[in-house]
Chains A and B, each alone.
Chain A
Amino acid sequence: MPVTQLSDKPPFKARAFDWLDHRFKIRDLTAYMGNKVVPQHGHSMFYYLGGLTLFLFLVQVATGILLLMYYRPGADSAYESVKFIISNVTFGWLIRSIHSWSANLMILVLFLHMFTVYFTQAYRKPREMTWLTGIGLLGLALTFGFSGYLLPWNELAFFATRVGTGMIRAIPVIGEYLMVVLRGGEDVTGATIGRFFGLHVAILPALFSLLLTIHLLFVQRQGMSEPIEWKSSGDTHKKYMKFFPNFLYRDLLVWLIALNVLALLAVIFPDGVGVIHWPLGEKADPFAPPPAVIRPEWYFMFAFLTLKLIPAKVLFLEGEQFGLLVMGVGGLIWALVPFLDKSSQRGERSRGWMLFGFGALGFIVIMTILGYILE
């Protein structure tokens, strides 16, 4: 009878699942996901940092697309359109504030993610490529920050970009060429906004999405890195949590907390607070004298101060060339650490590389703080 047939039918959810599974073999995928586990130990909280960076990136994409509705690049319109967004558009101040807060927090969490991976040697075999793609993502994120900083075309951004792009000139042979390409001319002008705008909303998002996909595929394929000590210890005290759904729910809870923190910061401090601030201020005037304090965003401060402190001439090199060389070599070693740290490949912690890590962290922290004190 039709009535009993109807009641015998599996529920809609199950039928929909079957329908999809028939076509896309979803059961294989869920079985694969069901196998994924997350190690549980004293430093398990580090596992949230990558996901948190991802969340903040998604917030950047969403708010960035919204800002695009009103932002107009160009020397005559960029500043005016940002002013329009924060003073005329309903909730415009909020969207810009969230975009700025999320950008800063994303860089911060990204740095935390990188250093926790470094100090737990999670970069060791077989995760060398995950580390490398992560370093690439860091580079792109910093470029995002640098290019986005100029877009409001205000006084502070104008001079900071002039200094920042001016440094590129120190690169031998191709420096001058690179600087002109980046600036769209000899100086920072409306043409520079066009280039930075294209970089910020098209080129960087494309590259970042590609690299991020690869990074996440690596993480999904290899699973979470276990603590290095677990290799030598017995199986008895190793504990795991299922990724799906247990860890995923926790991940989402962390995202929810992050969203609330973000909303609070954005509402209470729409222009930022302390050294992390982005008041619109005056419109950039290339012919006006620079403001008393020119400073980059906080995450460039250590590099900015280092270059400032280096004497004009070191050995046969110019001060800036020397500074860029030293930091370039340092960055290269940092990127190649999974290949250079031989003891981590054997599952042992190397004192030397731990010291190198602390040295780098200490240098960045101290130079950043000094940068603000010496102002």
Chain B
Amino acid sequence: MAEEKSSSTKANFSNEKVPRRSFLEKFLAAGTMALVGAVFYPVARFLVPPKSGEATVTQVKLPFTRRDVEAESQKGKTFRFGRKLGIIVLTPSGELRAFSATCTHLDCTVQHRPDLGVLWCACHNGRYDLSGKNIAGPPPRPLDAFVVNEVGEEIFVSSGVA
């Protein structure tokens, strides 16, 4: 029925350039689109979580000392660096070095293997040397290195850009 009606209306106004009904239909469609947009734009934006308001950490004081690292059988310890995880290792020469503990392959956590002399990711057998360079397995990039400063007993770890 609606079909008939609209076609007969169209016939009546066939001499007009834009028939009234089709103009109104377009107007209504545009209005509806605008309404839908106005409602769903804020909803879509609301659903995207904001970036964390937490300040970026550039330096942390480790809650342990060189002796604690030496006492570890793995000669290495993980620590929190802001929201990231870091690892500090003792090299055979007695130097402390710190890296991001997140494997660059698939975000597993790496560990120190003093027996192999590497930083090792257990997930896919990825290996990094003690300067953080990826030397074997799937990791595509070296580990991010931190700067280590020892002040007396305390160990300070800071991001490279300081």
The interface of chain A, by Cβ under 8 A from chain B, is 11, 66, 69-70, 84, 88-92, 94-95, 256, 259, 263
Contact = CB atoms under 8 A, between A and B. Distances in A.
Interface of B: 3, 35, 38-39, 42-43, 45-50, 53
A333 to B, nearest CB: 42
With most chain A CB atoms within 10 A of its CB, the pick from B3, B39, B42, B53 is B42
Nearest to A94: B42
- B-side interface mostly: helix
Contact of A88 (B35, B39, B45, B50): B50
A240 to B, nearest CB: 21
B49 A89 contact: yes
A79 to B, nearest CB: 15
A89 B42 contact: no
Given A70-B49, A90-B48, 8 more contacts: A11-B3, A89-B46, A90-B42, A91-B42, A91-B46, A95-B42, A256-B35, A263-B38
A66 B50 contact: no
B53 A92 contact: no
B38 to A, nearest CB: 8
15 contacts: A66-B46, A66-B47, A69-B47, A88-B50, A90-B45, A90-B46, A90-B48, A90-B50, A91-B42, A91-B45, A91-B46, A94-B42, A94-B46, A95-B46, A256-B35
A11 B7 CA distance: 15
Contacts of B3: 11
A39 to B, nearest CB: 26
The 4 closest A-B pairs by CB, nearest first: A91-B42, A90-B45, A88-B50, A91-B46
A10 to B, nearest CB: 10
Nearest to B50: A88
A92 B50 CA distance: 10
